Amino acid sequence: MNAGISDKKELLRERVLEQVRRDITLGDLEPDGRLTERDLCERHSISRTVAREVIRQLDAEGLGRFIPHQGLRVTRMSRDLVEDIYEIRLLIELRIIERFTEVATPDELAHLRYLFDRLSLLSDSEDYEELAARSFALLDYMVKVTGKQTAGEVLHSLSARIKILRVLSMRVPGQVPSGIAQLERLITAIGNRDKKAAAKELRAYMAQAVDSVLGQVERLDPKAKGAT
């Protein structure tokens, strides 16, 4: 295949993937909703081949489950799934943060604070996608500094679902400024190279987030309480 055509196809695939991820994250595609190749072709003016690749990628990311001859069924977020994701996040992020406090230079600590300050500018915002992106940037930077690439790859494999959960949490009234205040305490502890305090603040931040998410999941989707 011509390189230019291949690149164009890849860009188109990524554009459609990002839009569908956004639709799932913001609830425009509801849990258990069905998405077919034909739907994608008609909505986004793409070929069956590209549509098939998009569905396979969404299935791989855990945003849906591919069912032959039916298409993709959007994942239903259950209590167990939410708790599993946050448990994995906590274990991995604790180790990344611990290592960052050990090895970060003063300049790297300053840059982490800069990234947090950019996030805090949105404390009154309802741009949940940008809030999520700036939240991810904090951890991405710590992964880069610490060289914890395997840990970063595991989190990346969960990133699409983590983004959904973050957006759900942010939609709880008062959660954005409260979460940012909690993060500030975490960033301060990291800046002081206090691993014990940083671990405590991360656990508190995660506990607050998971409570918000579970409330939202069960409010928006009553079946989720018992879903598997």
Query: In which region does residue 119 sit, left (phi positive, over 0), alpha (psi from -120 to 50) or beta (all else)?
Result: alpha
131-145, 186-200, 202-216: which has the minimum mean pLDDT? 202-216
Q: Give the per-residue pLDDT at 221.
A: 61
Residue 136 has pLDDT above 90, yes or no: yes
Across 33-37, 51-55, 81-85, 157-161, least confident range: 157-161
Over residues 70-98, the pLDDT tens digits come to 889 988 878 888 899 999 999 999 999 99
Q: Do the beta carbons of residue 215 and residue 172 sit within 8 Å? A: yes
Predicted confidence band at 32 (pLDDT cuts at 50, 70, 90)? confident
Angle (CA) 148-153-156 rounded to 5° is 125
pLDDT, tens digit (0-9, with 9 covering 90-100), for 1-31: 555 556 677 888 888 988 888 888 777 888 8
- pLDDT above 90 as % of the chain: 51
